[in-house]
A and B are shown apart, each in its own frame.
Chain A
Amino acid sequence: MAFEAYIINLLILIGIFSILAISLNLAMGFTGLLNIGHIAFYGIGAYTSALLALSLGVPFWIGLVAGGLLAAFFGLILAIPTIKLRGDYLALATLAFAIIMESIFRNWISLTRGPLGLPGIPKPVFFGLTLSGFSYLILVFVFVIITYLFITRLTKSPFGRVLKAIREDELVAKSLGKNTLKFKTIALVISAFFAGIAGSLYAHYITFIDPSTFSILESILVIAMIIIGGLASVPGAVVGAFIVLLIPEVLRFLPIPSYAIGAVRQILFALILVILLIKRPQGILGEFAFKKK
């Protein structure tokens, strides 16, 4: 029974991170937007729906949508001034954005309780049934499928082909008469929306959130997932989430003292990331690697 609960917990987290990784892949893998601050949208979704539930008693389902929409809105706010920045500079701007958001989660104490975090976030109720354990896994699974199918369809549509054209050569896309800034903005907003949904799913599952869950290092974890699984590959993002989240679990069964697990986990996944970046920057299932133009 305990083992079953352990597996279910792991699968739920993998599911939530799959949504996060798929959504980041839309912006980074398919469109080539170097967004290092993706975790901020996840945090906005989590805080929005947690605060709505805790202070206003808003039901999970409305909070979930609100979390996604507010994250999307922040995606738009971030995109309007910064989307024209090139490459590394966009990476820096998104990094700064994520640090500012984390700083707000940490310091707007009257709203977020700062580092104390928000405990007691209610579990979702579905037709009188409180979702937890296996039923929560089903819920997360449904959202993974929705995200998976939506992003797959989107990237195979004419819209998605424009995104890839922008990634390969923005000037060509422009000269074909495409408003590339608009396309990039829409990609970032959709990406932020799904990250917000993932955040809400996380908050109502763990029932406790605090600012450290949304630190920039977690963002690197998600980037590692899509680099490992493969840039511009939707199944790759899921594979990446599996691999990155299973690494620390494997360590659990090795004779490593518990205080060292965090450090060993960090070293191991960073090592895998670096080796892949050197040997196979397109990842396991990816079709694309950032190369010098």
Chain B
Amino acid sequence: MPLINQLLANGLIAGAIYALMASSFSLIFNIVKFMDFSPGAIYVLAAFAAFFFNIVLGLNFFVALILSLIIVSLAAIVINKSVYKPIRERKGSNFILLLASFGVFLIVTGIILLLFGAQVKTFGLPIEKGYDIFGALITKTQILLIVTSLVLFFFLQLFMKTTKLGKSMRAVADNREIASTLGINVEKTITITFVIAAILAGVAGILVGIEQNIEHSMGFIVVIKGITASIVGGVGNVPAALLGGFLIGIVENLGILFLPSGYKDAIAFLILIIFLLFRPQGIFGVKTREEVSG
């Protein structure tokens, strides 16, 4: 059974990335209430920023990591202030925000393309020998990737449940008006939400960058996979994003057993359509069907 084990391992690795993207998307969807594609651009931005600091400038990797996360946080703040906030103030619908996030995605990835060109970049890490775990080869970087994803996820939960800020985020998610009358600074909470979401997507981008390689176009499919994962897990439920992420990662990798590998992406989106139709609230969701269809 080594093949299946290897596919399961690959599914876990992909799943860890999807889980990070899904939690980034879910946070914004729950608190700011729209489907935001910009985490896909943040993912690319973080990977290229880390590449720039670490490889082009030759800075220490951890310094590069911190600087990249600062950059994506600032980018998220600028995007929110200059695009999403004015649309919210004009009472533009969720769909306008969704389209604007597409625009943001194209602008950010376009700038990266302009600055770095279309060639694939690599961090040039030495090729590692994988550990043999139940017949599946897994490298140290891949283990690091899965562990980082789980640890971040754990801290996100802790943050949302225990800190004052996390609680005010949940309050804004429940009802913006009531949160505001309770003295919660809604705009500030939204800004912080975007920053946390950007850090989650940014870490995902950097992890994939060091594990594989980076190119300007790598953000689109991954953000839709993240959205799929969060729908499958259950929108309105950030922890479920973790499960959704791993589920999508494993299913699409096991799918290779039955379909040519070129259909890998299609499998995830078929799952998305099936869930939208039959269980739009996701596996763990509590949303009523009425919110999804009329």
Contact with B along A66-103 (1 / 0, CB 8 A): 00000000000000011011111101110111011001
Of the four ranges (under 10, 10 to 19, 20 to 34, 35 or more), the interface on chain A belongs to 35 or more
Q: Does B87 contact A (CB under 8 A)?
A: yes
Is A85's CB under 8 angstroms from B276's CB? yes
Q: How far is the CA of A82 from the CA of B280 in the complex (A)?
A: 11
Minimum CB–CB distance for A283 against chain B, Å: 12
Q: Which of B50-107 contact A (CB under 8 A)?
A: 83, 86-87, 90-96, 98-100, 102-107
Closest residue of chain B to A98, judged by CB? B269
Q: Does A264 contact B (CB under 8 A)?
A: yes
A103-B263, A277-B96 known; A220+B276 contact, CB < 8 A: no
Pair B110/A100 contact, Cβ less than 8 Å: no
Interface contact A264-B95, CB-CB below 8 Å: no
B residues near A34, Cβ cutoff 8 Å: 95, 98
- Contact of A27 with B by CB under 8 A: no
Q: A273 to B92, alpha carbons, bound, how many Å?
A: 14
Closest to A269 in B: B106
**Is there contact, CB below 8 Å, between A289 and B96?**
yes
Residues of A within 8 A of B118 (CB): 259
Interface status of B220 (Cβ within 8 A of chain A):
yes
Can you pick out 7 interface pairs between chain A and chain B where the beta carbons lie within 8 Å of each other? A85-B293, A96-B272, A100-B270, A259-B118, A266-B109, A270-B106, A292-B94
Given contacts A103-B265, A289-B92, A290-B92, 4 further A-B pairs with CB under 8 A are A89-B292, A269-B106, A270-B107, A274-B103
Interface residues of B (CB under 8 A from A): 34-35, 83, 86-87, 90-96, 98-100, 102-107, 109-111, 113-114, 117-118, 220, 224, 227-228, 231, 260, 262-263, 265-266, 269-270, 272-273, 276-277, 280, 291-294
Residues of A in contact with B (beta carbons under 8 Å apart): 34, 81-82, 84-89, 91-93, 95-97, 99-100, 103-104, 106-107, 114, 170-171, 216-217, 220, 223, 227, 259-260, 262-264, 266-267, 269-271, 273-274, 277-278, 281, 289-293
